[in-house]
Chain A
Amino acid sequence: MKADAMKVVVQSEPFDLGAEVAAISQQRTDIGAIASFVGLARDSNDGSGVQAMTLEHYPGMTEKALVTLVDEACTRWALLDVTVIHRVGRLLPGDPIVLVAVASSHRGEAFAACEFIMDALKTRAPFWKKEETPEGERWVDARVSDAEAAERWDGIE
């Protein structure tokens, strides 16, 4: 995959899954599969209601980290295009947070790379969530299950 085929964006604005997927397949006919994932802001976490969340990030490092993990995915699988969009700022339950879309000739690579990129993003991209709950504000703690999900790709082809 050419580097300029990759799209990595950090933004506060919402995104449109349909438009992003359409942009990937526009003016080309070699793509056989596009796998996409959208993460949404949930209305509860760890037994509390969540009224809103604010996503903070590390400008500069965030974009570098995302490009690095997309590069790793391109090394592991034959990919034709990748789009990663992550939102920052204050989000409400139901709002989309993150989009990963991966294009390949066949579905196997697209599914695997999409999941790999999400697992890697959860543990390596410098974003932090702060939730507003009825009990007050709280920073979300990193989950062991996310680290385990990322580690299971080590040594897998």
Chain B
Amino acid sequence: MTLRVLYFARLRERFGVAEESIEFEGVSVADLIATLQARGGVWAEELAAGRAFRVAVNQEVVALEAAIPDAAEVAIFPPVTGG
């Protein structure tokens, strides 16, 4: 399935991309993170276990175990700092 994946703030700058389309073979958020980690470099570094990042699926923050529906909008971003 095809996912629209967005990156924000520090992660957008580190990855050098704001948005991309990804052909995804997995099921869960954890599978997507593993796919991105496999790119190596900053991807492996920023998305390593223990690093603080959040994942939203269709604009709601979810846990790593959550399933990703077809054609979902997935966003990966640092912990928020508004207000």
Question: A-side interface residues toward B, CB under 8 Å?
Answer: 39, 55-58, 60-61, 64-65, 86, 97-98, 118, 121-130, 139-142, 146
A126 B80 Cβ-Cβ under 8 A: yes
Nearest residue in A to B77 (C-beta to C-beta)?
A126
B8 A56 Cβ-Cβ under 8 A: yes
Nearest residue in B to A120 (C-beta to C-beta)?
B83
Q: How far is the CA of A128 from the CA of B6 in the complex (A)?
A: 15
Nearest residue in B to A147 (C-beta to C-beta)?
B79
CB-CB < 8 A to B10: which residues of A?
A: 128, 139
B28 to nearest A CB, angstroms?
A: 20
Interface size on B, residues (CB 8 A): 17
B80 A123 Cβ-Cβ under 8 A: yes
A57-B82, A118-B83, A142-B79 known, 8 other contacts, Cβ within 8 Å: A61-B75, A65-B59, A124-B61, A125-B83, A126-B80, A129-B82, A139-B9, A139-B10
Question: B-side interface residues toward A, CB under 8 Å?
Answer: 6, 8-10, 52, 56, 59-61, 75, 77-83
CB-CB < 8 A to A139: which residues of B?
A: 9-10, 78, 81
B24 to nearest A CB, angstroms?
A: 20
A126 B52 Cβ-Cβ under 8 A: no
A86 B82 Cβ-Cβ under 8 A: yes
Q: How far is the CA of A124 from the CA of B59 in the complex (A)?
A: 12
A55 B82 Cβ-Cβ under 8 A: yes
A128 to nearest B CB, angstroms?
A: 4
A58-B77, A61-B59, A124-B61 given as contacts; is B82 within 8 A of A130 (CB)?
no
